[in-house]
């Protein structure tokens, strides 16, 4: 009995002294006025539960706590796991003792309850945590609902950008380390009684919470108690991603077509051969277009066009392509997460109104539409009245010959609607002229992009230059045929801005998408003289559009501007959101 008490007492004394020293240093650094919040009561309850369990075990002539060598091994394993997998182990001073004790308690509790089945949890959890650290160090991102949603929706090309040798190596290493950890846990705990493990788990968990009392409430962070906070965060990220995906799909599929209601086109009678190009671009920031003053000449052809109306300040609705397209093509004013009913869509795609009034629609997509994921389901509903849908494998430029084929096989007097949504400047920024790269050296792989920021940014700028050439080719193809080309990008990108790469509110910084310039996207209207002279209404509307180009505009203007430009009468039209109207009002939603 004496040796049992002596050995365990020595271990507990060491743990308590080290933890107490760190807690005292932390309290001194923060000048703590000790309080007793809710986790104090939880700490007392856990400690009492552990002591009660020890008394019961001694009454039953069982070991009240695991063997002392087991406790030392658990301590070492917990330290190793925290050092490698806990993203915030060294982020706050004197915090490690809190998470270390919690890790020990959690490890013992899992084995006490699930025994060897706990190994399955640890393998998955540790692999995710290691990959999260890699993602945070390279891209400034933690695993959240957006990251999960983007992973689910990623095209094969986008996924390949992240399948670099180092990332694949880290994935393999994380699997090996997880397996070694689980082997060590099994070898250490397999012969220990569950009640003894449970008692120790309660004591260590209680100590963790007690030492958390040294941190004032205004300094508290849930990350101190790793790994427990990670469990609801990971589950919430996956659950929210699937919930939002399903809600997005359900929302757009539930909308009735605006063409089901009476509508009338007042600007055309049919037979004019007008081509309306509606292009929802990919990932182009407004501040990376030389059209808007960017020092690099990324849009040389657009800059030379006199019949161009540019909108330098356009705010995208969301950092997700699907939600952005819903905001653009329906009468929605915000994205799917908006709670106010008046901001959500009440009708379907504006494209339906044009097909109901004499336009024949053809859609041109990138490679992604060959998949059967959320993006495909949403965009297929929004473009369901297309006479034919094309994919552009390999390069968006290949859609130009597809357009040429449509023009060749369509009567000259037929009014046409071309809907375009190809990859453009989407990750991994691989669409540019490799034989004549405008901004070199360019890199298209996302292996620690901060370390090769110049190459990644060169690739991004080159992709915009490539898209500028796409505009030129399409305009040249349309020639003297009357056309108007409306372009707007779906969302922007972070390219090292605010320490982040990609999109959305990522990482510990909690920077909201609409709080940065990443939400400002490219938007313009291009037309030719033949279109302007076709009807006096067009000249007047284009003139008003040019005057309103100085306003701060957003995706919510797109639906109504299309209607206003063509004087397409429908009950869903709102002149306050029509940029061709003198009644147009600027965007008043969230913005930088």
pLDDT of residue 505: 42
Residue 506, pLDDT > 60, answer no
Task: State mean pLDDT over 498-515.
Answer: 60
Q: Tell me the β-bridge partners of 489.
A: 281
Task: State mean pLDDT over 84-89.
Answer: 80
Nearest to 418 by CA among 332, 487, 503: 487
Please state the length of the chain: 592
pLDDT of residue 150: 64
Residue that wins the pLDDT comparison between 396 and 94: 396
Nearest to 232 by CA among 222, 224, 242: 222
pLDDT of residue 576: 97
Structural domain spans, the chain: 2-240, 271-577
* Cα dihedral 370/371/374/377 (nearest 10): 50
Calculate the average pLDDT of the chain.
83
Nearest to 139 by CA among 443, 449, 444: 449
Q: What is the pLDDT of residues 27-52, one digit of tens each?
A: 444 444 444 455 666 777 777 777 77
Kindly indicate the confidence band of residue 153, based on its pLDDT and cuts at 50, 70 and 90: low
Least confident among 175-184, 232-241, 407-416 = 232-241
pLDDT of residue 94: 60
Q: What is the pLDDT of residues 368-383, one digit of tens each?
A: 544 445 567 788 889 9
pTM recorded for the entire structure: 0.76
Residue 289, pLDDT > 60, answer yes
Residues 355/361, Cβ–Cβ less than 8 Å: yes
Identify which of 15-19, 366-370, 560-564 has the greatest average pLDDT.
Answer: 560-564
Residue 359, pLDDT > 70, answer yes
Kindly indicate the confidence band of residue 165, based on its pLDDT and cuts at 50, 70 and 90: confident
Least confident among 320-329, 472-481, 510-519, 552-561 = 510-519
Residue 316, pLDDT > 70, answer yes
Kindly indicate the confidence band of residue 307, based on its pLDDT and cuts at 50, 70 and 90: very high
Task: State mean pLDDT over 516-528.
Answer: 93
User: Encoding tokens for residue 192?
Assistant: 């220990």
Task: State mean pLDDT over 279-304.
Answer: 95
In CATH terms, the superfamily for domain 271-577 is Alkaline Phosphatase, subunit A (3.40.720.10)
Residue 317, pLDDT > 80, answer yes
What's the distance, CA 182 to chain centroid? 32
Distances (CA, A) of 409 to 403, 414, 478: 10, 11, 14
pLDDT of residue 340: 82
Give the Cα separation of 438 and 299 in Å (integer). Answer: 11
Identify which of 208-212, 453-457, 470-474 has the greatest average pLDDT.
Answer: 470-474
Give the Cα separation of 334 and 339 in Å (integer). Answer: 9
Task: State mean pLDDT over 457-476.
Answer: 94
Residue 254, pLDDT > 70, answer yes
């Amino acid at each position: 009995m004496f040796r049992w008490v002596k050995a365990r007492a020595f271990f507990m004394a060491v743990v308590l002294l080290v933890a107490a020293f760190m807690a005292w240093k932390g309290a001194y650094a923060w000048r703590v006025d000790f309080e007793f919040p809710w986790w104090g009561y939880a700490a007392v309850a856990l400690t009492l539960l552990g002591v009660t369990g020890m008394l019961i075990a001694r009454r039953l002539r069982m070991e009240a706590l695991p063997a002392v060598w087991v406790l030392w091994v658990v301590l070492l394993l917990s330290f190793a796991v925290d050092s490698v997998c806990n993203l915030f182990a060294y982020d706050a001073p004197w915090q490690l003792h809190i998470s270390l004790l919690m890790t020990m308690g959690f490890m013992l509790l899992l084995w006490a309850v699930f025994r060897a089945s706990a190994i399955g949890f640890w393998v998955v959890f540790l692999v995710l945590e290691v990959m999260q650290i890699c993602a945070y160090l390279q891209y400034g991102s933690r695993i959240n609902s957006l990251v999960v949603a983007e992973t689910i929706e990623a095209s094969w090309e986008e996924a390949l950008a992240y399948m670099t040798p180092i990332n694949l190596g880290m994935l393999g290493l994380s699997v090996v380390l997880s397996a070694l950890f689980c082997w060590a846990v099994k070898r250490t705990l397999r012969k220990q009684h569950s009640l003894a493990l449970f008692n120790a788990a309660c004591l260590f968990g209680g100590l963790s919470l007690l030492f958390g009392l040294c941190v004032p409430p205004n300094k508290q962070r849930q990350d101190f108690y790793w790994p427990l906070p990670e469990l609801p965060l990971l589950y919430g990220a996956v659950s929210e991603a699937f919930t939002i995906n399903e809600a997005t799909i359900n929302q757009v599929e539930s909308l009735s077509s605006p063409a089901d209601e009476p509508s009338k086109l007042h600007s055309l009678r049919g037979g004019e051969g007008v081509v309306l190009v509606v292009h929802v671009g990919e990932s182009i920031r407004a501040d990376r277009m030389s059209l808007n003053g960017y020092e690099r000449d990324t849009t040389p052809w657009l800059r030379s066009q006199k019949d161009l109306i540019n909108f330098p300040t356009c705010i995208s609705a969301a950092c997700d392509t699907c939600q952005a397209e819903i905001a653009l093509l329906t009468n929605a004013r915000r994205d799917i997460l908006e709670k106010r009913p008046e901001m959500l869509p009440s009708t379907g795609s504006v494209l339906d109104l044009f097909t109901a009034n004499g336009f024949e629609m053809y859609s041109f997509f990138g490679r992604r539409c060959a998949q059967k994921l959320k993006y495909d389901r949403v965009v297929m509903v929004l473009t369901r009245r297309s006479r034919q849908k094309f994919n552009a494998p390999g390069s968006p430029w290949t859609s130009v010959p597809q357009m040429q084929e449509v023009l060749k096989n369509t009567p000259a007097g037929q009014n046409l609607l071309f809907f375009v949504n190809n990859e453009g400047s989407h990750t991994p920024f691989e669409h540019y002229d490799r034989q004549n790269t405008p901004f070199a050296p360019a890199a298209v792989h996302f292996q620690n992009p901060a370390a090769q920021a110049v190459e990644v940014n060169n690739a991004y700028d080159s992709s915009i230059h490539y898209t500028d050439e796409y505009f030129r080719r399409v305009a040249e193809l349309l020639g003297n045929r009357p056309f108007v080309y409306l372009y707007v990008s779906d969302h922007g990108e972070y390219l090292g801005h605010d320490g982040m790469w990609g999109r959305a509110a990522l990482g510990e910084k909690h920077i909201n998408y609409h709080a940065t310039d990443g939400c400002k996207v490219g938007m313009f209207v291009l037309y030719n003289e033949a279109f302007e002279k076709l009807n006096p209404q067009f000249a007047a509307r284009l003139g008003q559009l040019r005057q309103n180009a100085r306003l701060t505009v957003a995706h919510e203007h797109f639906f109504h501007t299309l209607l206003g430009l063509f004087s397409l009468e429908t009950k869903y039209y709102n002149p306050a959101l029509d940029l061709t109207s003198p009644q147009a009002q600027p965007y008043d939603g969230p913005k930088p």
